[in-house]
Homo-oligomer: A and B are copies of this chain.
């Protein structure tokens, strides 16, 4: 393919992860060093930064500070949840993007996100082709949900999985401190796919994990759940439940909504929405009376705990960003950089690059295979463990200052 010389934009989109900045750094570092890329711009809050002409000049950042992005959580450039209209219906945004691309001579666009971000990439690419503006567009995946189609796994997932499984392992020990019975319900992110909640089973695999694990892939049966909790409670005195926020009944109704319906309005006038963990806690109390029970939401912590990221995930995230730039400058466009696994002769896991069409990724969702979940739908099989364990290896090689992590502090100088 022809050589294409010009500036590049890197944008981040959707919910952040512990390692999305490692991917951004893969793009930025490689682009700054590329002979084909004249300028490297970071879009402030994803595509909104392009629309608002708010681009950071990444060449103005200190190299050492940029390198800290490898272990800095959240989206350092800022993110957005902005959906582009179809260009046939409304091309206002596209015209504006073209205007900005022309203004800065942008010939490379790298977008770091999930399904919706790949959709954004795909739409921009199609529009640029339709107006004859030469530009190479690559998607760099991220999501703690691990639900992107076509790739073996997504950057961000493994770090969240390592944090979730270890935190639950620690809770397991904490729950056993007294000789009195206790139930603990832990709510984990994942609306449509249960990859992350399933990682709680890693702790179980090592003999220190939840008794019951529920994913949205299997319809949640409330009476069966309560029977299981009660049985384990009477057998062992300790019950730990790990549950994906997106579990639903056989009609597709979210279990969290059972709580919402019952949720009363407090004296401030607010509906007291306790989330899924609180809903299940109340169901268990309703069945079993006033037992010692605790609902724990891992909340935002699970997607930003860079201090306990998987170094494998960190390195792969960097690789995805780096590869996106290398392939784009060599002529590839309209692809997402995904992963494919293989094993060497000693059964060591190897992560290979695999390219996917943006359009295919944009409109699909990958769920946990039913056969990786046990028959009763309340735990994971060995196949899941074989899948996940290679991904969570290695402690993050972070910089520290004063005993706490030293995260990147960017100057964010607006490009002229």
List the interface of chain A (C-beta within 8 A of B): 15-16, 44-45, 48, 72-76, 78-81, 162, 165-167, 169-171, 173-179, 184, 202-203, 205-208, 262-270, 272, 274, 278, 282-283, 285-286, 294, 296-297, 299-301, 303-308, 310, 389, 392-395, 400-405, 407, 409
Contact = CB atoms under 8 A, between A and B. Distances in A.
A300 B286 CA distance: 24
Contacts of A81: 178
B262 A282 contact: no
A274 B274 CA distance: 7
Contacts of A304: 170-171, 173-174
A403 B392 contact: yes
Contacts of A285: 268, 270
A176 B272 contact: no
Nearest to A208: B407
A48 B179 contact: yes
Nearest to A170: B304
B266 A264 contact: yes
A401 B165 CA distance: 13
A199 to B, nearest CB: 10
Contacts of A394: 403
Contacts of A299: 294, 296
A173 B296 CA distance: 22
Contacts of A403: 162, 202, 310, 389, 392-394
Contacts of A80: 178-179
Closest 7 CB pairs of A and B: A74-B173, A392-B403, A264-B264, A262-B267, A174-B304, A170-B304, A268-B286
B264 A178 contact: no
A380 to B, nearest CB: 14
A166 B404 contact: yes
B173 A73 contact: yes
A178 B305 contact: no
17 contacts: A48-B179, A73-B170, A162-B404, A169-B405, A170-B301, A173-B407, A174-B300, A184-B300, A205-B402, A206-B402, A262-B268, A263-B266, A264-B272, A268-B285, A294-B300, A296-B301, A301-B301
Contacts of A272: 263-264, 266, 272, 274, 278
A178 B79 contact: yes
A283 B269 CA distance: 11
Contacts of A263: 266, 272
Nearest to A173: B74
